[in-house]
């Protein structure tokens, strides 16, 4: 079993009072709580803080934790022999048990002997896993496979992490952050409590071409200056394949050319649009012939894009 | 369409559920959810009908509420205030995201 330094996680001394521990937890929770912090690493940090607080705020659990002694964080250690007797682990031991799961078992009846107190139904824990998805996968309503290590509890209430695989079909109307609730697929309940749920959260991956806004997609459409002035027929990639788009003469930079029903589908069956946002690109180097023609154009043209400056 | 607890469902803005479902999946009390309704954090699909229905996406909202209540030991007023502010942040982030999508990639 790996040792975790709960005092270090909360940034308090081992002699800290309950009030000190609570104060430290609140401060760190404000900083790292995943519903409040924008830092993507905050969830893991908050998990450590919450785990430490859950043990140290409970005098009985704190005493048991203190009896483990002080070890460097992450170091493998063997709990005292009476722990294995308390948890009736026999020869299985506690090697593959997470320290947090062990202390959770204290509160809900695990461990037998003096620790078996609660008899009311305790619902199972909910879990959430992130599923990275691409726009193409959403458009095709792909089936994806997800793996997660979820706890299964032995007869003594101790959690053992077991790899599980789920196959889910992404709906065409899926959006970034949307969740799938798999009822009863989370942690098991205790004393007749219902099992927890598993939530799959879709995380839309950035696309090299398309930028989604709701059900609409935006795409940069680079045009050569002469294409913008003279008009052109250009090929534009969409999620459903390439389409031909007529660019009218006199098209300006920033103009949005709308391709109806080339965006993402909604749950009600409607489909968003694809907007091609015009960018006028100029060649960084030109040939002598091109230079000559541009010089002629400059001399012949009376176009002044800065008339409003005067 | 009302959603039974045993199903696996996508939490979207089309399918709906009753307030009891939100309470069941979140662990909040009906009274706590009523506070969120009173403060417009959660809005029924059609407030005029006898049985109020809520978009399934609100499951995420009530679960967030439960986490905040437990992790910060918030009372009912504090919880409604925190969720209102988080909702405003979400709306502002969505506006920034939409603006960035329309403006295009910087070169």
Domains with residue ranges and CATH for chain B: 16-103 (1.10.1660.10)
CB hemisphere CA count around A230 (13 angstroms): 7
For residues A222, A223, A225, A226, the Cα torsion angle rounded to the nearest 10 degrees is 170
Is it the case that residue B4 has pLDDT exceeding 50?
no
The distance of Cα A213 from the centroid of its chain, to the nearest Å, equals 19
Nearest residue in chain A measured CA to CA from B96: A213
Specify burial of residue B34 (Cβ count, 10 A radius: 0-12, 13-18, 19+). middle
Which chain B residues have a beta carbon less than 8 Å from that of A181?
8-11, 25, 59
Among B60, B72, B100, select the one facing A179 at the smallest CB separation: B60
- Prediction ipTM score: 0.83
Hey, are the CB atoms on B72 and A29 less than 8 Å from each other? Answer: yes
* Nearest one of B3, B68, B73, B75 to B35, comparing CA atoms: B75
Three-state helix/strand/coil letters over chain B: CCCCCCCEEEECCCCEECHHHHHHHHCCCHHHHHHHHHCCCCCCCCCCCCCCCEECCHHHHHHHHHHHHHHHCCCHHHHHHHHHHHHHHHHHHHHHHHHHHHHCCCC
- E strands along chain A, which residues? 127-133, 143-153, 159-169, 179-182, 198-204, 210-213, 216-223, 232-238, 241-247, 256-259, 274-280
Nearest residue in chain A measured CA to CA from B12: A178
pLDDT per residue as tens digits for the range B38-82: 999 999 998 677 889 999 999 999 999 999 999 998 998 899 999
Q: Report d(CA A154, CA A222) in Å as an integer.
A: 61
Q: pLDDT band at residue B5, thresholds of 50, 70 and 90?
A: very low
Is it the case that residue A56 has pLDDT exceeding 50?
yes
Which chain B residues have a beta carbon less than 8 Å from that of A33?
68, 71-72
Hey, are the CB atoms on A277 and B25 less than 8 Å from each other? Answer: no
What does pTM read for this prediction? 0.79
The pLDDT assigned to A114 comes to 43
Q: pLDDT band at residue A106, thresholds of 50, 70 and 90?
A: low
Question: Among residues of chain A, what percentage have pLDDT more than 90?
Answer: 59
Which chain A residues have a beta carbon less than 8 Å from that of B83?
none
Which chain B residues have a beta carbon less than 8 Å from that of A179?
10-11, 59-60
pLDDT per residue as tens digits for the range A225-275: 999 999 999 999 999 999 999 999 999 999 999 999 999 999 888 999 999
Rounded to an integer, the average pLDDT of A273-295 is: 96
Nearest residue in chain B measured CA to CA from A278: B104
Which of A196-200, B1-5, B42-46, B68-72 comes out lowest in average pLDDT? B1-5
Angle at A251 between CA A249 and CA A255, to 5 degrees: 155
The pLDDT assigned to A193 comes to 82
Angle at A72 between CA A70 and CA A75, to 5 degrees: 110
């Amino acid at each position: 079993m790996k040792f975790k330094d709960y005092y270090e996680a909360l940034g308090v001394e081992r002699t800290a009072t309950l009030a000190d521990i609570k104060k430290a937890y609140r401060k760190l929770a404000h900083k790292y709580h995943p519903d409040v912090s924008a830092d993507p690493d905050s969830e893991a940090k908050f998990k450590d803080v919450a785990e430490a607080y859950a043990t140290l705020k409970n005098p009985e659990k704190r005493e048991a934790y203190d009896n483990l002694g002080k070890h460097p964080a992450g170091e493998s250690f063997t709990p005292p022999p009476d722990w294995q007797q308390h948890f009736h682990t026999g020869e299985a031991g506690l090697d593959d048990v997470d320290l947090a799961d062990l202390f959770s078992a204290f509160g809900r009846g695990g461990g037998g002997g003096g620790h078996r107190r609660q008899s009311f139904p305790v619902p199972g824990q909910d879990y959430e896993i992130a599923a990275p998805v691409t726009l193409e996968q959403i458009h095709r309503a792909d089936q994806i496979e997800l793996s997660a290590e979820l706890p299964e509890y032995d007869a003594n209430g101790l959690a053992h992490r077991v790899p599980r695989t789920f196959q889910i079909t992404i709906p065409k109307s899926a959006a970034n952050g949307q969740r799938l609730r798999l009822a009863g697929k989370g942690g098991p309940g205790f004393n007749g409590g219902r099992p927890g749920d598993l939530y799959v959260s879709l995380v839309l991956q950035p696309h090299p071409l398309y930028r989604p806004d709701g059900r609409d997609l935006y795409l940069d459409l680079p045009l050569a200056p002469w294409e913008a002035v003279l008009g052109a027929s250009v090929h534009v990639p969409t999620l459903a394949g390439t389409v031909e788009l007529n660019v009218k003469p006199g098209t300006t930079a920033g103009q949005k050319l709308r391709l109806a029903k080339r965006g993402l589908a909604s749950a009600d069956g409607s489909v968003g649009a694809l907007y091609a946002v015009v960018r006028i690109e100029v060649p960084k180097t030109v040939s002598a012939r091109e230079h000559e023609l541009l010089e002629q154009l400059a001399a012949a043209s009376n176009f002044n894009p800065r008339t409003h400056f005067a | 369409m009302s959603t039974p607890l045993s199903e696996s469902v996508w939490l979207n803005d089309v399918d709906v559920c009753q307030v009891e479902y939100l309470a069941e999946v979140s662990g909040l009390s009906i009274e706590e959810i009523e506070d969120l309704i009173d403060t417009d954090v959660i809005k029924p699909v059609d407030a005029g009908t006898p049985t109020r229905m809520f978009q399934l996406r609100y499951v995420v909202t009530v679960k967030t509420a439960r986490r905040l209540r437990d992790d910060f030991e918030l009372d009912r007023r504090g919880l409604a205030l925190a969720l209102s502010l988080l909702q405003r942040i979400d709306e502002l982030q969505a506006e920034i995201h939409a603006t960035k999508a329309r403006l295009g990639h910087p070169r």
